[in-house]
Amino acid sequence: MQDRAFVWSLAGPGAFATAAFVGGRMEPGYRARDEPISALAARGSRAAPVMVSGFLGLAVSTVALARELRGTTLAPDPVGPLLSLAGLSVAGAGLARCSDRSCPTRLLGDDGVALTDDLHAMFSMATFALWISVPLVAARRARSASPRARRGSRALGLTTLAALVGGGRLAQRPSGRGSGTAQRVMLASALTWYPLAALARSARTAP
Give the tens place of pLDDT for each residue, 183-207.
999 999 999 999 999 998 755 443 3
Q: Which of 62, 47, 48 is nearest to 12 (CA)?
A: 62
Asked if 139 contacts 107 with a C-beta cutoff of 8 angstroms, the reply is no
Residue 207 confidence (pLDDT): 38
Give the confidence band of 164 by pLDDT, cuts at 50, 70, 90. Answer: very high
The percentage of residues in the chain with a pLDDT greater than 90, rounded to a whole number, is: 85
Measured torsion, CA atoms of residues 94, 163, 13, 100, in degrees rounded to the nearest 10: 30
pTM (global) more than 0.85 = yes
pLDDT greater than 70 at residue 47: yes
Extents of the domains making up the chain: 2-205
Q: Could you tell me the sign of the dihedral formed by the alpha carbons of 10, 40, 43, 177, in that order?
A: positive
2-205: in CATH 1.20.1070: yes
pLDDT greater than 90 at residue 176: no
